Amino acid sequence: MSRNLPDRPNLEYLKKEAKALLVTMQQTDAAAQLADAQHALARDYGFASWPKLKAHVEAIAGTAPHPLIGRWIADVARSQRHPANLFQHATIQFTVDDNTVNVEQEFVDEAGQVVRNHMTIVADGAPQAMPNGYVLTARWRGAHALDTVATKNGAVVGAGRYEVSPDGRRLTIVAADQVIVLDRAAAVSQ
Protein backbone atom coordinates (compact mmCIF):
# COMPACT_ATOMS: atom_id res chain seq x y z
CA MET A 1 0.00 0.00 0.00
CA SER A 2 1.50 3.34 -0.98
CA ARG A 3 1.52 6.47 1.09
CA ASN A 4 0.24 9.78 -0.20
CA LEU A 5 2.54 12.77 -0.58
CA PRO A 6 1.41 15.92 1.19
CA ASP A 7 -0.09 18.65 -1.03
CA ARG A 8 3.16 20.61 -0.85
CA PRO A 9 5.92 17.99 -0.55
CA ASN A 10 9.38 19.11 0.50
CA LEU A 11 12.37 17.54 -1.24
CA GLU A 12 14.72 18.21 1.67
CA TYR A 13 12.36 16.39 4.02
CA LEU A 14 12.18 13.43 1.60
CA LYS A 15 16.00 13.30 1.44
CA LYS A 16 16.14 13.13 5.25
CA GLU A 17 13.43 10.49 5.23
CA ALA A 18 15.49 8.41 2.76
CA LYS A 19 18.59 8.71 4.97
CA ALA A 20 16.60 7.58 8.01
CA LEU A 21 15.23 4.67 6.01
CA LEU A 22 18.80 3.76 5.01
CA VAL A 23 19.78 3.44 8.68
CA THR A 24 16.84 1.08 9.23
CA MET A 25 17.64 -0.93 6.09
CA GLN A 26 21.29 -1.32 7.09
CA GLN A 27 20.23 -3.01 10.32
CA THR A 28 19.10 -6.02 8.26
CA ASP A 29 21.34 -5.53 5.20
CA ALA A 30 24.74 -3.94 5.83
CA ALA A 31 25.29 -3.55 2.07
CA ALA A 32 22.26 -1.27 1.64
CA GLN A 33 23.07 2.02 -0.09
CA LEU A 34 21.33 5.41 -0.13
CA ALA A 35 20.09 4.68 -3.66
CA ASP A 36 18.33 1.59 -2.29
CA ALA A 37 16.60 3.64 0.39
CA GLN A 38 15.63 6.36 -2.09
CA HIS A 39 14.19 3.75 -4.45
CA ALA A 40 12.24 2.08 -1.65
CA LEU A 41 10.89 5.43 -0.48
CA ALA A 42 9.85 6.39 -4.01
CA ARG A 43 8.06 3.07 -4.43
CA ASP A 44 6.34 3.60 -1.06
CA TYR A 45 4.97 6.90 -2.39
CA GLY A 46 3.82 5.22 -5.61
CA PHE A 47 6.65 6.26 -7.96
CA ALA A 48 8.75 3.92 -10.08
CA SER A 49 12.04 5.54 -9.04
CA TRP A 50 13.66 8.26 -6.94
CA PRO A 51 14.28 10.48 -10.01
CA LYS A 52 10.56 10.32 -10.87
CA LEU A 53 9.58 11.23 -7.30
CA LYS A 54 12.14 14.04 -7.25
CA ALA A 55 10.95 15.43 -10.61
CA HIS A 56 7.35 15.33 -9.38
CA VAL A 57 8.19 17.21 -6.18
CA GLU A 58 10.28 19.80 -8.07
CA ALA A 59 7.49 20.36 -10.58
CA ILE A 60 4.98 20.94 -7.78
CA ALA A 61 7.34 23.35 -6.04
CA GLY A 62 8.16 25.11 -9.31
CA THR A 63 11.86 24.63 -8.61
CA ALA A 64 12.68 22.55 -11.66
CA PRO A 65 14.26 24.79 -14.26
CA HIS A 66 12.44 25.10 -17.56
CA PRO A 67 14.03 22.72 -20.08
CA LEU A 68 14.56 25.54 -22.61
CA ILE A 69 16.72 27.56 -20.21
CA GLY A 70 20.39 27.61 -21.02
CA ARG A 71 22.91 28.05 -23.79
CA TRP A 72 22.59 25.98 -26.96
CA ILE A 73 25.12 25.45 -29.75
CA ALA A 74 24.04 24.66 -33.31
CA ASP A 75 25.18 21.39 -34.84
CA VAL A 76 25.59 22.61 -38.41
CA ALA A 77 26.21 19.11 -39.77
CA ARG A 78 22.85 17.82 -38.47
CA SER A 79 20.90 20.97 -39.34
CA GLN A 80 19.01 21.55 -42.57
CA ARG A 81 19.54 25.28 -43.11
CA HIS A 82 17.51 27.47 -45.44
CA PRO A 83 19.59 28.82 -48.37
CA ALA A 84 19.11 32.32 -46.97
CA ASN A 85 20.37 31.21 -43.54
CA LEU A 86 23.66 29.39 -44.22
CA PHE A 87 25.31 30.36 -40.94
CA GLN A 88 28.70 28.87 -40.06
CA HIS A 89 28.21 28.79 -36.28
CA ALA A 90 25.36 29.75 -33.94
CA THR A 91 24.60 29.89 -30.23
CA ILE A 92 21.32 30.73 -28.56
CA GLN A 93 20.83 31.59 -24.88
CA PHE A 94 17.32 31.27 -23.40
CA THR A 95 15.98 32.57 -20.12
CA VAL A 96 12.40 31.80 -19.13
CA ASP A 97 10.30 33.55 -16.51
CA ASP A 98 6.77 32.14 -16.54
CA ASN A 99 5.54 33.03 -20.06
CA THR A 100 8.35 35.46 -20.92
CA VAL A 101 11.15 33.95 -23.01
CA ASN A 102 14.27 36.03 -23.64
CA VAL A 103 16.36 34.87 -26.58
CA GLU A 104 19.96 36.01 -27.15
CA GLN A 105 21.33 34.83 -30.47
CA GLU A 106 24.82 35.04 -31.88
CA PHE A 107 25.84 33.56 -35.17
CA VAL A 108 28.54 33.76 -37.78
CA ASP A 109 26.88 34.26 -41.15
CA GLU A 110 27.96 32.80 -44.49
CA ALA A 111 30.32 35.77 -45.07
CA GLY A 112 32.00 35.29 -41.69
CA GLN A 113 30.32 38.28 -40.00
CA VAL A 114 29.24 37.97 -36.36
CA VAL A 115 25.58 38.88 -35.91
CA ARG A 116 23.94 39.31 -32.49
CA ASN A 117 20.31 39.93 -31.69
CA HIS A 118 17.85 39.79 -28.82
CA MET A 119 14.17 38.93 -28.85
CA THR A 120 11.57 38.69 -26.11
CA ILE A 121 8.70 36.29 -26.71
CA VAL A 122 5.59 36.26 -24.56
CA ALA A 123 4.19 32.74 -24.75
CA ASP A 124 0.63 33.43 -23.67
CA GLY A 125 -1.19 32.83 -26.97
CA ALA A 126 -1.84 36.55 -27.50
CA PRO A 127 -0.54 38.46 -30.54
CA GLN A 128 2.60 40.49 -29.76
CA ALA A 129 3.84 43.37 -31.91
CA MET A 130 7.41 42.86 -33.10
CA PRO A 131 9.84 45.05 -35.07
CA ASN A 132 9.27 45.69 -38.79
CA GLY A 133 5.48 45.33 -38.59
CA TYR A 134 5.44 41.65 -37.66
CA VAL A 135 3.07 40.17 -35.09
CA LEU A 136 4.17 37.06 -33.17
CA THR A 137 1.84 34.68 -31.37
CA ALA A 138 3.51 32.09 -29.14
CA ARG A 139 2.22 29.39 -26.82
CA TRP A 140 3.64 26.49 -24.86
CA ARG A 141 2.92 22.98 -26.13
CA GLY A 142 3.56 20.89 -23.08
CA ALA A 143 6.67 21.30 -20.95
CA HIS A 144 9.20 20.92 -23.77
CA ALA A 145 7.88 22.84 -26.79
CA LEU A 146 7.14 26.43 -27.76
CA ASP A 147 5.12 27.13 -30.91
CA THR A 148 5.29 30.46 -32.73
CA VAL A 149 3.34 31.97 -35.63
CA ALA A 150 4.44 35.20 -37.30
CA THR A 151 2.06 37.36 -39.30
CA LYS A 152 2.42 40.59 -41.25
CA ASN A 153 -0.55 42.61 -42.42
CA GLY A 154 -2.81 39.79 -41.23
CA ALA A 155 -1.14 37.08 -43.33
CA VAL A 156 0.90 34.20 -41.89
CA VAL A 157 4.53 34.63 -42.97
CA GLY A 158 6.12 31.95 -40.81
CA ALA A 159 5.64 29.38 -38.11
CA GLY A 160 8.07 27.47 -35.97
CA ARG A 161 8.56 25.21 -33.02
CA TYR A 162 11.33 25.15 -30.41
CA GLU A 163 11.35 21.66 -28.92
CA VAL A 164 13.68 20.27 -26.25
CA SER A 165 14.28 16.51 -26.26
CA PRO A 166 12.93 14.57 -23.26
CA ASP A 167 16.47 14.15 -21.91
CA GLY A 168 17.06 17.92 -22.12
CA ARG A 169 20.21 17.62 -24.24
CA ARG A 170 18.96 18.61 -27.69
CA LEU A 171 16.92 21.53 -28.98
CA THR A 172 15.34 21.35 -32.41
CA ILE A 173 13.99 24.46 -34.09
CA VAL A 174 11.65 23.60 -36.94
CA ALA A 175 10.42 26.21 -39.39
CA ALA A 176 8.93 25.90 -42.88
CA ASP A 177 12.17 25.40 -44.83
CA GLN A 178 14.71 24.49 -42.17
CA VAL A 179 15.47 22.34 -39.15
CA ILE A 180 18.16 23.64 -36.80
CA VAL A 181 19.58 21.11 -34.35
CA LEU A 182 21.32 22.46 -31.24
CA ASP A 183 23.06 20.76 -28.34
CA ARG A 184 23.01 22.04 -24.78
CA ALA A 185 26.28 23.71 -23.91
CA ALA A 186 28.11 22.24 -20.96
CA ALA A 187 27.59 24.19 -17.76
CA VAL A 188 30.65 26.16 -16.65
CA SER A 189 31.41 25.68 -12.97
CA GLN A 190 32.49 28.72 -11.02
- Residue 56's pLDDT is 85
Angstrom distances, CA of residue 69 to CA of 51, 88, 116: 20, 23, 18
- What local confidence, expressed as pLDDT, does residue 66 receive? 83
Structural domains for the chain:
11-61 (no CATH), 70-184 (2.40.128.20)
pLDDT bracket for residue 176 (50, 70, 90): confident
SS3 content of the chain, % helix, strand, coil (to 5): 25, 40, 35
Q: Given this model, what pLDDT does residue 55 score?
A: 86
How far is 146 from 139, CA to CA, in rounded Å?
A: 6
Residues 6 or more apart whose Cβ sits within 8 Å of residue 33: 22
| N- to C-terminal Cα separation, the chain | 45
Which of 68, 71, 63 shows the shortest CA–CA distance to 9?
63
Q: What percent of the chain has pLDDT over 70?
A: 94
Degrees, nearest 5: CA angle 121-107-161: 40
For residue range 18-62, list pLDDT tens digits in order. Answer: 999 999 999 999 999 999 999 999 999 999 999 999 888 877 766
pLDDT number for residue 62:
64
Nearest alpha carbon to residue 73 among 171, 145, 174, 175: 171
> Does residue 64 surpass a pLDDT of 70?
no
Average of per-residue pLDDT values in the chain: 90
Q: Which residue has the higher pLDDT, 9 or 108?
A: 108
Whole-number pLDDT of residue 38: 95
Task: State pLDDT tens for residues 68-104.
Answer: 999 999 999 999 999 988 999 999 999 998 789 999 9
